[in-house]
Amino acid sequence: MKLGILSLAVCAGLSLLLCSVALAAPAPIAASTLLNVATDISAAVSQIDSKGTATPTDDTWAIAPGGALAFGTLSLKTGTDPMGRTWSVFLPQYYFAIDIGFPDGGMPSGKSIVVAYGSDVRPPGATSGLGDKATITYCRTYFAAPGDWELNKTTDAVIEKKLLKDGNTVPTSAITGGWLRMYVGIVTLDPTAVPVDPAGAQIFSPSDITGTYSGAVTISLV
């Protein structure tokens, strides 16, 4: 409907412009539009298959079923660091991106997107849950050049990376000209990761109790 109205407005504007040209009577043409301020946010969740590598270029994206972040059963990865020490960590195949949009209008100014973690569930005896073992990397995502939309080339400007349990408050002024993207992943403690995991981050190690670790991410627009 809006597109239809917009098209009519554009046609009307063009008609006026053509008329003014044809009559050679230069007159100022006022043009204005009104973008409603959004009252809602939407969260589009993508499941990203890392292919088991730390290289993002081979990642594949898919819509996360049900909008949930199902990391699945973690697999044990082992290796040796440059110092010759062995490491072992349980990791998932996937990580997730949550893109926050304003579907019913323009991005409201003076608002904040507040992310909080709760409903932490962990196996009996486990001393830490997903709040310490998962992170969110907050980004202002945008198209850096006009043609990037066609090329599907997004640019992520990292705002910060935080532990899931710490939540965050992102004012809409921090994402002007783009949108908020949050990458949610399990802690790797990979020293080469950009950005590195925050202080206090904990991996899923072989010493962690087996069972289900779950929780809920609440995204509020206030």
**Which residues contribute to the site for another protein (CB under 8 A)?**
2-3, 37, 39-46, 60-74, 90, 92, 98-99, 101-105, 108, 110-112, 114, 119, 130, 134, 149, 152, 154, 169, 171, 173, 179, 184, 186, 204, 208, 210-222
User: Nearest approach, Cβ of 109 to another protein (angstroms)?
Assistant: 8
Q: Are strands 112-121 and 168-171 parallel, antiparallel or unpaired?
A: antiparallel
Distance in Å, CB of 162 to another protein, minimum: 15
Phi-psi sector, 18: left (phi>0), alpha (psi -120 to 50), beta: alpha
Min separation Cβ 194 and another protein, Å: 20
Q: Give whichever of 20 and 120 is closer to another protein, judged by the CB atom.
A: 120
Dihedral over Cα of 37, 174, 42, 147: its sign: positive
Residue closer to another protein by CB (options 99, 190) is 99
CB of 4 to another protein, least distance (A): 12
Q: How far is the CB of 111 from another protein (least distance, A)?
A: 7
Cβ atoms of 173 and 59 closer than 8 Å = no
Residue number, 86 or 152, with CB nearest to another protein: 152
Instruction: Give the separation between CA 202 and CA 198, rounded to whole angstroms.
Output: 9
3 state DSSP class of 100: strand
Q: Which of 1, 27 has the CB closer to another protein?
A: 1
CA distance to 2, 64, 194, per residue, from 107 (Å): 17, 24, 29
DSSP 37: B
Choose between 6 and 19: whose C-beta lies nearer to another protein: 6
